[in-house]
Every structure is written in structure tokens, then in C-alpha cells.
Amino acid sequence: MAQSPFLNDPREQLARHIAAAVASPINEVRAMHIRAAEHLSELAKENRLPARSGKTKTAKDA
């Protein structure tokens, strides 16, 4: 794996989550996705990355 720009590299943990998801029931998979999203959010805050709104930019926004 290439060197990550993050202080705390989430890729190994996410790889374990994906491997576990393959063998897990859907509710456990859903819970893993939620935990992964929360973990990535915490990493972004720790590394002072800008928050994403989830909205796409329109011509009016430019």
C-alpha cells in the first residue's frame, strides 16, 4: 500500500471491515459502515480537513 497522507491511516481498518462484511449478515454490515463513517469523520477532524456538505456545486454557487 502507498504511504497515506493521514496521520492515522484508516485503510487497514477499512480493509478489515470489508473482509468482515463479506461474511456478515446485513445488519452487521450496516453497523460496520456507520462505525467506519464515524471513524473517518473523527480522522478528518483530527487532521483538520474541511467538512463536506454532500451537496454538489451548481453554476449559481461558482
The whole-number mean pLDDT for each consecutive block of 10 residues of the chain, a chain of 62 residues, reads 64 80 76 87 83 62 56
Q: Grid coordinates standing for 1?
A: 500500500
Crossing angle of helices 26-46 and 11-22, in 10° steps, is 170
37/26 Cα distance (integer angstroms): 17
Q: Is residue 26 in some structural domain?
A: yes
Q: Is residue 62 in some structural domain?
A: no
Please give the residue range of the domain that contains residue 39. 11-46
Report pLDDT for 57. Answer: 62
Q: What is the DSSP code string of 4-46?
A: PSSSS--HHHHHHHHHHHHTS-HHHHHHHHHHHHHHHHHHHHH
pTM of the model: 0.43
Q: Is residue 57 in some structural domain?
A: no
Tally of domains within the chain: 1
Report pLDDT for 1. Answer: 53
Report pLDDT for 12. Answer: 80
Report pLDDT for 51. Answer: 66
